[in-house]
Structure formats: C-alpha cells, structure tokens
Structure 1
Amino acid sequence: MSATPAGTTRAPGAGATRPATPRQDRPAVVSRRPASAASREKGRGSAAAAEGPVTRFWRWIEGDPRKDGRTGYYLILGSTLALTVIGLMMVLSSSSVEAISQNPDASSYDQFAKQATWSVVGVVMMLIISRFPLHLFKKLAWPALFTSVVLLLLVLTPLGVEIYGNRNWLAIGSFTAQPSEAAKLALAVWAAAVLSKKAKLIDQTPHALIPVLFPGGIVLLGLVLVGHDLGTALVIGLVLVATLFLGGVRLKLFAVAGAIGAAGAILMVLVSGNRMTRIYAWLGLNCDTQPAACYQSTQGLYALASGGWWGVGLGQSRQKWNYIPEASNDFIFTILGEELGLLGTIVVLLLFAILAVAMYRVAARHQDNFVRIATGGIMAWLIGQAFLNIGMVTGLLPVIGVPLPFISSGGSALMLALMAVGVVLCFARSRPDATSDPAAATPSASTRKSPR
C-alpha cells in the first residue's frame, strides 16, 4: 500500500491523487436559508425610504398586484352603497319642502319614494350584472350602442320633454327617463370592445379614429347637443377621451381633437345667450345688472358657508326652503354641506376617492385590454361627473347642469350609475391574470399534468 504524499488528497473511488486546494482559494459557501422576517422588513424599509413620497403614494394607489382583486371588489361595493344611502337621505331632506310648495295635496315623501324605488332596482341590477360572464359584455357592446342611439333619437320626437331649455328626457305617461345616461354606459363598453380588438392597429390614424370617434362618439355627442345639453355632452366627451387614451391612441391626435373641441365649445357658448349669461355670472360680471343669473350659485355658497364644520343638522337646512332652485338635483351638494357641514362633504369626497382608487386597481391588475378600457371609461364618467358637479356648486366652474352621481335626485341616472358599477364589479370578480386571447389562457400540452 502506497502512502499519500503530503499536500495531496486522494480522489474518491480512485487511486490517483490531486493537489489539495488551499482553504483561502475555495469559494465561499452561500447560505440557502431564507432570510428572517426581521431582515426582510429591514430591506423593505430601506427600499421604501429610498423612494420619494410621490412614488410611495402611487404604489399605494396601485396596491398589491399579487392579490386576487377581492379587496377592490368590496371597496367598490361598499363606497357605492354608502354614497347611495347618503343620497337617499339628502333627497328626502331636500325635496320634502319643494314637493309641498309645488303641490300642497302631495306627500312630502313622493320624490323620496321614487328615488328609493329606483335605488332598489339599481342595486338588484348591479348585483345581477356583477355575475355576468366577462365575454357577454363584448357581445352586448354593439346592441347597447344601437339601442342608446335609438333612445336619443326618440328624445327629438314628441315623446321628448324639455326642461330648463334642455331636451334630454323621454316621457311615457308618468314615467320619465334620461337616455343619455344609458349612452354613457354603452359608449364605455362599446369603445372598449372595439379598441381591444384593434390593439395591433391602433398606431394607424384611421384605425384609431374609426369607428370610435367617427361615427360612434360624434353621433352620440351630436344627438345630445341637439337637445342643448352641454353638461351631458361634456361627460360623454370625458368617456370618449378616456377610452381612446387607454386604448393606445397617439397623443398628438388628442392635441388636434382638443383644439377642435375647445373651438367648438367656445362657439356654442358664443351663439347661446343663456350660456353666455352663465359664463358672465361665473366670472361675476353681471351680478349687479342681472342678479337672477347669479342667484342660484350665490345661494349655494351661502348654504355651504352656513354649514360650518359640523352643519346645522340633518333636515335643518334653511336654504332648501325654495331659496336654491333644484336643491334636490344639481345643487344637492350645497344642502349636504349645510346640514352635515364640512365633515359631511369630506366624507362624500373620500367615498368618491375610494371608488376611484378601487376602480383604478381593478384596471391596473387586469391583463385584458377590454377590462382596462371599459373600467377607465366608467371611472371617467362617474368620477369626472362628480368633479364637474362639485366644482360647479363651489364656484370653481360655471353652472352647467350636471347632477352628482348616486346622490342627486333622478331615478334613471341612479339606476344606470349602479349598473355601471355592476360592470366594474364583474371585472373585479374575474381573474386579474386573464388575457384577451382565449388561447393564451389555455394550458399547453407541455404544461398539462398527465393523469396518474
């Protein structure tokens, strides 16, 4: 038996020897043990500290993409129901006095009873729609658009009703409804269906504009503007812009469209004496010569100011005693501020903010372009309209006659808003990792597990 020379080691299973590797030349052994919770939290804390406050806030807005979306579902459902309940309380408070003054024989609960009935129907429809399969909305997109166009055309017939210069209602007997509310929802779903199919061609200008802008959006905008309802036309324009932007249309087209739209809006104001009066009242240029033009906005500001921090108490508003026209509709936020104070208005603003964040998370976590575009369009409708209404009653914007979603009186508007929320709830229930391509969601043969 031969001895092994010093400084060498015997290879296992062989008689050959090899030089021993010095300890200092051996690679360091890396521990495979998982990091402790404390070390992970320390790493996250250092990473969060390196980010700026804007980045951290935006990460909070986006949420955790690994979650299944149930948090967003319940945030959307909870904030919507809370806003609807607040709206019912404020409609009861603000409409009771007007109902008695207009018809002494009528009940002070008539308008509240109608609003409550519409809210029950809307909540039921919302829950039913939230259970629809995702592909059903794509199939219903074109029929919904055609139906909304037909309803808007009926407004121009003797069935249409004109209120305060706006022809935006259908009346069949005692039943009245606003077809433009259905047009907002139909446009969001239809534009999403069209743009998601044309995703690969959206860089080409003809495919970006046809048929979403021409003729779809232009037809809806034109029919609403024929009825002289500029406020609803602005909301439909918001939905159209949001869907086109999320669909991937090039930004330079928005610049051209924005210039054309601004010129058209200025022209419509110049040719309408009523709109010019509202602009002058907003700027405070005709309050001395035409006090009636500034009356509604001025009384609304009085109501907000008299509410203070805590409000005068639910049902105790003074301005609702026929001082504010349309106290239960367009200017209901002023009655809310008077009765519930600044605290109540902040609660409403927070509920709208929660709704916006939750809808954004649903769109951000989903891989289906249809879901992203449709959710963005509905979000632009509800949150954008709320911004227009609150800006109008607080004096930041001129009076344009836009109701506050979920809160203002108006049965068909409330029902359609709840149905739109039902569409987003359906998206929140679907898989966040779903794709628009059905084949991509089908596991390949190599990834399928063979049966044992």
Structure 2
Amino acid sequence: MSGTSRTPRGKGAKAGAPGRKRGRGAEARGVATWFSRLEDPSLRGAQINYYVVLGTTLALAFMGLIMVLSSSSVEAIARNESAFSDFSKQSLWALVGVACMLGMQQVAPKVLKSLAWPAIIGAIALLILVLAIGTEIYGNKNWIRFGAFSVQPSEFAKAALALWGAAIVERKTKLMGHWKHALVPLLVPVGGLVLLLVLIGKDLGTALVLGLVLVVVLFVGGAPRKIFVIGAGLAAVGLTAAVLLAPTRLGRVTAWLFGCAAGPPAAGSQDYCYQAQQGIYALASGGWFGVGLGQSRQKWSHIPEAQNDFIFAVLGEELGLLGTLFVIVLYGMLAVAMYRIAVRTGTIFGRVAIAGIMSWIIGQAFINIGMVIGLLPVIGVPLPFISSGGSALLATFLGIGVVLSFAREQRVRLQPAGTPRGIAALLARRRTR
C-alpha cells in the first residue's frame, strides 16, 4: 500500500469555496475601485476631466473637418463649385463654435441657470418661426434661411431643453417623486410642445433625440417609474403613428425590418434601401485599414448625403475598421469624462444638465452609427462634430461649453486659495524653473 493520503470528497470542495468567495469579493472590490476612480474628487481628477472633454471634442471636430473635405469635394465639383466649398463653410462654423465653447466655459453655473428660461422660450419661438417662414429640405421643414446661410433651430433646442429641464428639476427636487410635479411643466406643456413643433416639421430623428434628453432629465431628476412605463407606451403609439402616416418613413422601416423585397410596390423598395446598402458597401470595402484618405469610391454620387448623415460610412471606407473604432473610442472617452464631471458636481442643476447634454451628444452619435451599420432604420440624424452642418456643429460646441463651465468651476473650487490661474500660473511656472 502506498503512503499517500487521499482527501475525502466534499472536503476539497468545501475548502475551495472560501477561495471562490474571496475571488468574488476581490472582483467586487475591483469594480468598486474602478467606479471610485471615475469619481476621483481630487484636483488632479478635475483637471483630467476638463482636458479629456476639451481634447476629445477638438479631436472629433478636427477629424470631422478632414472627412467633410474628403466626402464633399466630389459633389461640390459636380455643382460647379470649388472642391473646398463645403470644407471652407464647415471650417468657419468650427472656428465660431470653438470661440463660443471657450466663451461659454467662462460663464458661471449660476448664470447658466438664470439663462434656462430665456433659452427655452427663444427655442420655442424659433421653432414656431420655422413653421411660418421656414424652408423645407429633403421633406423636413426645419430650416430658416438668412441670405447665404441657413440655421436649424431644432439643434439649439436640444441644449435649451437640457438646461431648462435641469433648472426645473433643481427647483422641484423634493417634489419630483410625485408624478404630477414630474410631468408639469417638464412634459406638459413645455417638453411636449417642443417635441410637437419638431414633429410638425417632419423631423423624426431630432424628435427622438429631444425625447431621449427629456427621459434622461426625468430619470436623473428622480421621477417615479410609472412615468417611464406610461411614457414608453405613449412613445410607442406616437412612433407607430409617425411611421404609418408618412409613406417615406414607412418604406424605410419596412425595408429595414423585412428586407428590400418588402418595400411598398408603388415606390419600389430599392429606393428605401439604396442609401443604407451603399453605406454597408462602403464599410465593407474599407476592411481593417481602409482604402486611404480621400480615396473613397462610394462618395462618387453613390451614397446620398455622404458628407452629412452617412459620413461615418465614408470614414469607414477610407480609414477602415480601425478608424471607426478610433472615433467610437473618442466618443466613449468623452462620455466617461462627462460622467465624471456630473458625479462631482455639487448641485442637482449641474448633474441633470450634464446628463442631458451627454445623452444628446453621445446618444445621437450612436443613433447615427447604428443607422449606418444597419442596426437602426435611416432617420436622418447627423454625427456630432463630424457631419457637415453649421447649426449642429455650433450647438454641440455650445453644449460642450456648458459642460466645461462645470468642469472649470470644479477646478477653481479645488485649487488652494491664492493659487495663480491662467496666464499668471504660466508666468509663475516659468519663474520657478
């Protein structure tokens, strides 16, 4: 007989159980540590948040300018214009947007809160003006022309709704648990009026983004669950009606759900699939590394609105899967930094406002990407910072400026008294070298 001892069955399992428990505990502690890093309350954390938001915003805008130049040059030449025509306009809007963003970050959060009501009233007035004198483009009446320029007020309504909703939530903090106070005036009448005016202009994509902002404002503000349950039902009915009452939307949704062969026979389902199919072809031909910047073949009048709603397809074709992943990572970094700023903000107004702006920019980005890759039907939503369009770019820069205002306030609050800031800080550093 050998002298080796055998461990009875069951004891080994019991002995291993504590190890598994310790493993689970370590995993839970790891997750908690990760979240605590996200909520780092130090001055260094505040500085990182500020520069990540600023850096990712500028990186996305710079990439957007490059892609607008690449994707719009062919169509510009076809219109007998300079190949740099759209790029020049977008660059001008980008410069104005950066200036507005840097100016907005200097505005104190208290002043931002005082601007909430004027902002929402102005947005509603402009939306009503659109219905009266607006210009219809591609079936949507949401533009006002001023000479050579055109403005889309619904883009600025997104920022106004986030700011105004945050101000209302802070004022009614103790009452948000009651459904009546959560509904009035956030949804009835103001929020509902904004959505209705946009829907009358037939812009379903913008209405979806505005609805997302409202949902996030209510959720972060602590609205009761019954509002979301009832709201989901009403939204489903409203979306169904909006699709059924518009033949173009019905054709796109039907083609997306059941394939091109299921499109309405009168118009031909291929009409509703063409843009989405060409976008998929562009992404597929890009492969891992792309065909090269400026070398897209699909932008040669194959993809409608290549510089606008489907610019992500051209980006994927020219820069490949790695290029698209890089853009998605930038949006992810921007989202994490905005979350960090929101959880460190000491006021309900700041927390809700940042959450609303984050849902608008990041939510719209992933709606656009989902539309291009076929996960969502084509609904006409631009890609923030990258798609061509001055109103969308300027409004998004203003939204980021609001976020940077709270980030800057956190940095100032955490700095020791008497610490030099701005140019004085740079001069002090040079003297200490």
**Superposition TM-score tier, normalisation by shorter sequence:** 0.7 to 0.9
Q: Is 1:253 paired with 2:224?
A: no
Which of 307-316 and 262-271 deviates more? 262-271
Paired with 2:276 and 2:361, the residues of 1 have a C-alpha distance of: 23
Q: Paired residue for 1:410?
A: 389
Q: Paired residue for 2:343?
A: 364
Paired with 2:322 and 2:259, the residues of 1 have a C-alpha distance of: 32
Q: Is 1:262 paired with 2:241?
A: no
Question: Any conservation in 1 of the 2:39–2:343 contact (CA below 8 Å)?
Answer: no
Question: Any conservation in 2 of the 1:247–1:373 contact (CA below 8 Å)?
Answer: yes
Alignment of 1:39-188 (within 5 A): 49-51=26-28, 54-55=31-32, 57-60=34-37, 62-67=38-43, 69-101=46-78, 103-104=79-80, 106-158=81-133, 160-188=134-162
Q: Paired residue for 2:212?
A: 238
Q: Deviations over 1:106-137 (max 9, x none)?
A: 11111000000000000000001101111101
Deviation at 1:66, TM superposition (A): 3.5
Paired with 1:297 and 1:285, the residues of 2 have a C-alpha distance of: 11
Q: Is 1:323 paired with 2:302?
A: yes
Distance 1:46 1:166, change over 3 A: same
Identity %: 54
Deviation at 1:325, TM superposition (A): 0.1
Alignment of 1:255-294 (within 5 A): 255-287=229-261, 289-294=268-273
The code of the aligned residue for 2:129 comes to L
Paired with 1:242 and 1:50, the residues of 2 have a C-alpha distance of: 30
Secondary structure of the corresponding residue to residue 396 of structure 1: coil
TM-score, with length taken from structure 1: 0.82
Question: Any conservation in 2 of the 1:405–1:413 contact (CA below 8 Å)?
Answer: yes
TM-score, with length taken from structure 2: 0.86
The code of the aligned residue for 2:50 comes to Y
Distance 1:47 1:295, change over 3 A: closer
Q: 1:302 is matched with which residue: 281, 285, 293?
A: 281
Secondary structure of the corresponding residue to residue 141 of structure 2: strand
Alignment of 1:219-238 (within 5 A): 219-238=193-212
Distance 1:48 1:83, change over 3 A: farther
Alignment of 1:191-206 (within 5 A): 191-206=165-180
Paired with 1:100 and 1:302, the residues of 2 have a C-alpha distance of: 23
Question: Any conservation in 2 of the 1:138–1:189 contact (CA below 8 Å)?
Answer: yes
In angstroms, what is the RMSD of aligned CA positions? 1.9
Question: Any conservation in 2 of the 1:181–1:413 contact (CA below 8 Å)?
Answer: yes
Q: 1:336 is matched with which residue: 315, 340, 343?
A: 315
Secondary structure of the corresponding residue to residue 176 of structure 1: strand
Paired with 1:56 and 1:295, the residues of 2 have a C-alpha distance of: 48
Secondary structure of the corresponding residue to residue 410 of structure 2: coil
Runs of 5+ consecutive residues of structure 2 not aligned to the other structure: 1-21, 263-267, 414-433
Question: Any conservation in 1 of the 2:286–2:317 contact (CA below 8 Å)?
Answer: yes
Secondary structure of the corresponding residue to residue 115 of structure 2: helix
Q: 1:398 is matched with which residue: 377, 380, 390?
A: 377
Runs of 5+ consecutive residues of structure 1 not aligned to the other structure: 1-44, 435-452
Secondary structure of the corresponding residue to residue 167 of structure 1: strand
Deviation at 1:55, TM superposition (A): 4.5
Question: Any conservation in 2 of the 1:363–1:371 contact (CA below 8 Å)?
Answer: yes
Question: Any conservation in 2 of the 1:130–1:422 contact (CA below 8 Å)?
Answer: yes
Q: Deviations over 1:169-214 (max 9, x none)?
A: 1112211011001100000000101110110111222211111111
Question: Any conservation in 2 of the 1:202–1:208 contact (CA below 8 Å)?
Answer: yes
Paired with 1:69 and 1:245, the residues of 2 have a C-alpha distance of: 25
Question: Any conservation in 2 of the 1:199–1:247 contact (CA below 8 Å)?
Answer: yes
Paired with 1:200 and 1:385, the residues of 2 have a C-alpha distance of: 31
Deviation at 1:57, TM superposition (A): 4.8
Paired with 1:116 and 1:247, the residues of 2 have a C-alpha distance of: 37
Q: Deviations over 1:310-354 (max 9, x none)?
A: 000000000000000000000000000000001100110000000
Question: Any conservation in 2 of the 1:365–1:433 contact (CA below 8 Å)?
Answer: no
Paired with 2:177 and 2:46, the residues of 1 have a C-alpha distance of: 31
Question: Any conservation in 2 of the 1:232–1:402 contact (CA below 8 Å)?
Answer: yes
Deviation at 1:287, TM superposition (A): 3.9
The code of the aligned residue for 1:290 comes to S
Paired with 2:298 and 2:380, the residues of 1 have a C-alpha distance of: 19
Q: Deviations over 1:118-162 (max 9, x none)?
A: 00000000001101111101111000011001110111123x111
Q: Paired residue for 1:217?
A: 191
Q: Paired residue for 2:359?
A: 380
Rg (Cα) greater in structure: 1
Secondary structure of the corresponding residue to residue 431 of structure 1: helix
Paired with 2:286 and 2:98, the residues of 1 have a C-alpha distance of: 31
Which one has a larger percent helix, Structure 1 or Structure 2?
2
